[in-house]
């Protein structure tokens, strides 16, 4: 990318295997050596464990946040288990121009070794984080990515500039109603912001940093390009929407206290669309999202089903209107059988959603 210093190659090769790293020139030599030690099972202290494949080390001069997250450093106490695949696979889609899906195998956790990442995951985490940072989006700056070799087996990793502390993921903060509303609204606002920069399939990674909520986990993300249609983009956007709504129904993420789940759902979709919807409309939209994920439908049927749903129609009109292709698809009400859905939704506000800043 223009204006970005070339990455510096660093390596270590000994009886434990070989590590190759493409790193930011600002990565201090001492920090690079501590990363190599960590990846070869000699994890220094102090350290912070983050999930099942990440370790945060204190920085000795690299970055701005005081810590280096090694994503793909292995499960706590075991390191990367080369030869043993990740135990929790999750299928993620690749959408074509008509919204039809195939499974993106390399993004699946089950494609990576336990505690590690696939090449695509590690490279996406680095590339998308850098892409967004250059556009002024607040993310944890990437410091590099690389590979650990033992014989013919390889596991990948990436480095991120993060605070040296236990991350406060959003779902740790959902005990109060004000926090729930803020989190849900932030999901909607940041999802729209990412879409304006052509970034989709970011799922639900978000963490508190001081008073701010910061998006993270870009190993699944897709940067849309000129060959991606409005329906490609919308399909990714709806996959993210379904993923977040599903998390709002899970006890681990959103305790069933008072009506926190209803508040989260309503606040999120209000931020996402700029409109209010009745509970029955939100229920119908969620069911449609589940069907859409990997539906083997012709394009016309996909559009018609969206046009026949109150929330789906709002998003369809926004994406189609911004594409410049609306004359090719006539009025979406025709595709829905000539009738507009009824309900309590307010009329769409033209120009509210924009792809470009």
In the chain, pLDDT over 70 holds for what percent of residues? 91
pLDDT of res. 343: 41
Please tell me the predicted confidence (pLDDT) of residue 25.
94
Q: Tell me, what's the pLDDT at 335?
A: 61
Tokens of 346: 């307010």
74: pLDDT confidence band, cut at 50, 70 and 90? confident
Task: Report which listed range, 232-241, 258-267, 332-341, is most confident.
Answer: 232-241
Q: Which H, E and C letters describe the chain, residue by residue?
A: CCCCCCCEEEEEEECCEEEEEEECCCCCHHHHHHHHHHHCCCCCCCCEEECCCEEEEECCCCCCCEEEEEECCCECCCECEEEEECCCCCCCEEECCCCCEEECHHHCHHHCEECCECHHHHHHHHHHHHHHHHCCCCCCCEEEEEEEEECCEEEEEEEEEEECCCCEEHHHHCCCHHHHHHHHHHHHHHHHHHHHCCEECCCCCEEEECCEEEECCCCCCEECCCCCCHHHHHHHHHHHHHHHHHHCCCCCCCCCCCCHHHHHHHHHHHHHHCCCCCHHHHHHHHHHHHHHCCCCCCHHHHHHHHHCCHHHHHHHHHHHHHHCCHHHHCCHHHHCCCCCCCCCCCCCCCCCCCCCC
Least confident of 27-31, 268-272, 339-343: 339-343
For 122-160, how does the pLDDT look when each residue is reduced to its tens digit (9 = 90+)? 999 999 999 999 999 999 999 999 999 999 999 999 999
**Highest mean predicted confidence (pLDDT) among 4-18, 220-234, 323-337, 341-355:** 220-234
By the 8 A CB rule, do 80 and 43 touch? no
- Which pLDDT score, from 0 to 100, does residue 340 have? 41
Assign 336 a pLDDT band (cuts: 50, 70, 90): low
Please report how the helices 260-273 and 310-323 are oriented relative to each other, as an axis angle in degrees rounded to 10: 30
pTM of this structure: 0.89
Report the percentage of the chain scoring pLDDT > 90. Answer: 73
- Average pLDDT (7-21) is 94
In which band, very low, low, confident or very high, does the pLDDT at 88 lie, cut at 50, 70 and 90?
confident
**Residue predicted with more confidence, 86 or 123:** 123
pLDDT band at residue 181 using 50, 70 and 90 as cut-offs: very high
Per-residue pLDDT band at 330 (split at 50, 70, 90): confident
Peptide bond into 309 cis (omega under 30): no
Residue 185 φ then ψ, to 5°? -65, -40
Mean of the pLDDT values across residues 53-66?
A: 93
Quote the pLDDT of residue 350.
Answer: 33
Give the pLDDT confidence of 277-312 residue by residue, as tens digits.
999 999 999 999 999 999 999 999 999 999 999 999
What sign does the CA torsion over 60, 65, 71, 73 have?
positive
């Amino acid at each position: 990318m223009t204006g970005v210093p070339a990455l510096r190659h660093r390596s270590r090769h000994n009886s434990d295997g070989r590590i190759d790293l493409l790193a930011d020139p600002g990565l201090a030599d001492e920090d690079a050596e501590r990363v190599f030690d960590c990846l070869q099972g000699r994890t220094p202290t102090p350290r912070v464990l983050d999930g099942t494949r990440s370790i945060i080390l204190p920085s000795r001069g690299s970055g701005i946040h005081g810590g280096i997250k090694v994503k793909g450093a292995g499960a706590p106490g075991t390191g990367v288990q080369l030869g043993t695949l990740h135990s929790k696979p999750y299928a993620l889609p690749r959408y074509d121009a008509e919204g039809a899906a195939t499974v993106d195998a390399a993004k699946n956790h089950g494609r990576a070794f336990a505690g590690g990442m696939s090449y695509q995951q590690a490279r996406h985490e680095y590339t998308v984080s850098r892409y967004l940072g250059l556009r002024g989006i607040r993310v944890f700056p990437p410091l590099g990515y690389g590979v650990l070799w033992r014989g013919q087996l390889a596991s990948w990793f990436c480095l991120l500039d993060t605070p040296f502390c236990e991350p406060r993921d959003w779902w740790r903060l959902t005990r109060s109603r004000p926090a729930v509303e803020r989190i849900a609204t932030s999901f909607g606002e940041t999802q729209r912001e990412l879409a304006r920069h052509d970034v989709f399939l970011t799922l639900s990674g978000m963490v508190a940093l001081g008073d701010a909520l910061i998006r993270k986990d870009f190993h699944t993300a897709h940067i849309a390009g000129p060959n991606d249609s409005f329906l490609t983009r919308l399909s990714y956007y709806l996959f993210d929407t379904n993923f977040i709504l599903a998390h709002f129904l899970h006890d681990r993420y959103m305790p069933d206290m008072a009506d926190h789940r209803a508040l989260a759902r309503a606040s999120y979709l209000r931020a996402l669309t700029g409109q209010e919807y009745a509970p029955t409309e939100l229920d119908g939209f969620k069911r449609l999202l589940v069907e859409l994920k990997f539906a083997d439908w012709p394009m016309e049927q996909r559009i018609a089903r969206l046009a026949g749903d109150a929330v789906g129609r709002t998003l369809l009109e926004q994406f189609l209107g911004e594409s410049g292709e609306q004359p090719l698809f006539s009025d979406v009400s025709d595709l829905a059988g000539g009738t507009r859905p009824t309900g309590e939704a307010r009329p769409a506000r033209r120009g509210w959603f924009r792809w470009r800043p």
